[in-house]
Amino acid sequence: MATKQRKIEINYRLLQTSCNIEVVGSVPDMQVYQADKAEYTPDYTLTPLVLFPRCNATDPEAVTKIGAVNSRLTNMKWYERIGTTRTLITSTNTGYSITESGDSKGQITMKKMSPS
């Protein structure tokens, strides 16, 4: 049996990517500690802060329309930094919840006060 070899050339087009973090809702993304009252404002335990990392891919040659790609991303991680210590936020950390699928994949809800 004779075989015929053929060469296939594939031209991959690079996409331009961008990502920004958006505050979802009207809760401010900065807390202020009021020492005289010993409390934080706003209180994220009462009204959580929600952050969404909007990730986009764009075809510079306009061959295909892509847009938001959060639902297709893998290995998205959030970390909590206290001083110089960085800790991976996992599902066992009750101070946070992270959306793990769908168009809002990667969205984090902060349900605790800022570390002092």
Tell me if 102 is assigned to some domain: yes
Q: How many CA atoms lie within 13 A of 6 on its CB side?
A: 3
pLDDT, tens only, 27-73: 999 999 999 998 999 999 999 999 999 999 888 877 777 788 999 99
Whether 61 is covered by a domain: the verdict is yes
Give 14-27 pLDDT, tens digit per residue: 888 899 999 999 99
For residue 53, is it within any domain?
Answer: yes
**Residue 30 belongs to a domain:** no
Span 61-109, pLDDT tens digits: 777 777 889 999 998 999 999 899 999 999 999 999 999 999 999 999 9
In terms of residue numbers, what domain contains 62? 16-24+38-110
Residues 6+ positions from 115 with CB-CB distance below 8 Å: 80, 82
Structure confidence at residue 116 as a pLDDT band (50, 70, 90): low
The count of structural domains within the chain is: 1
